[in-house]
């Protein structure tokens, strides 16, 4: 039994082998197409990967939690005001490519010490794994 193999772009899967393409789990900025994070960095916080939350202005967001977001840049100071995740201070995260608001970076003296809550509809998810055959 072969282990899971990762293919490079354009590489064909050997027959019968279980494969996943590295690019399949990329998550992009919906505004500019820049790489933001990877599906493999999904993380469960407070019992869920996704959370539907609202801010003090009543705007509802669906945020997805990731342990890292390489394409996100910090904006402004950390705040604990109206945090959605108890004990965590938040900081606005913007796209490093185009500056659009992608979500928030959370930090605490807890585990995990840092994670990102990214607004789902500001993200574009990579192509699904190729169909068999
Ligand atoms: Zn962008």
Domain span holding position 71:
5-123
On whether residue 10 sits in a domain, the answer given is: yes
* CATH number of the domain where residue 59 is located: 2.170.150.20
- pLDDT tens by residue, 30-68: 999 999 999 999 999 999 999 999 988 999 999 999 999
**Beta 5-7 vs 19-21: how paired, if at all?**
parallel
Joined together, the tokens standing for residue 54 give: 């609202």
Residue written as tokens 């201070």?
A: 89
Q: How far is the CA of 55 from the centre of ligand 1 (A)?
A: 22
Alpha carbon of 102 to ligand 1 centroid (Å): 8
pLDDT tens digits, one per residue of 59-114: 999 999 999 999 999 999 999 999 999 999 999 999 999 999 999 999 999 999 99
Instruction: Kindly state whether residue 130 falls inside one of the protein's structural domains.
Output: no
| 94 part of a folded domain | yes
CA of 18 to the centre of ligand 1 (A): 33
Q: Is residue 33 part of a domain?
A: yes
Expressed in angstroms and rounded, the spacing between residue 3 Cα and the centre of ligand 1 is 35
**CA–CA distance, 53 with 68 (Å, rounded to integer):** 20
Asked if residue 24 is part of any domain, the answer here is yes
In the reported structure, the alpha carbon of residue 100 is separated from the centroid of ligand 1 by a whole-number distance in angstroms of: 6
Question: For residue 115, how far is its CA from the centre of ligand 1 (angstroms)?
Answer: 19
Sheet arrangement for strand 26-29: 35-38, 26-29, 123-125
- For residues 21 and 7, is the Cβ–Cβ distance under 8 A? yes
Q: Give the total residue count for the chain.
A: 133
Domains in the chain, number: 1
CB atoms within 10 A of CB 85: 19
SS3 label, residue 2? coil
Residue 129: inside a domain: no
- Taking the centre of ligand 1 as the mean of its atom positions, its distance from the CA of residue 96, in whole angstroms, is 7
């Amino acid at each position: 039994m072969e282990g899971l193999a990762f293919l490079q772009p354009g590489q064909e899967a050997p027959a019968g082998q279980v494969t996943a393409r590295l690019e399949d789990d990329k998550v992009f900025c919906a505004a500019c197409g820049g790489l933001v994070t990877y599906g493999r960095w999904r993380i469960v916080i407070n019992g869920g990967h996704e959370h539907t939350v609202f801010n003090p202005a009543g705007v509802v967001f669906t945020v997805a939690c990731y342990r890292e977001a390489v394409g996100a840049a910090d904006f402004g100071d950390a705040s604990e005001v109206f945090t959605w995740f108890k004990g965590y201070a938040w900081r606005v995260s913007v796209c490093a490519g185009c500056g659009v608001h992608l979500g928030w970076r959370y930090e605490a003296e807890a585990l995990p010490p840092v994670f990102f809550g990214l607004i789902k509809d500001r993200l574009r998810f990579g192509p699904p794994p190729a169909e068999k055959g």
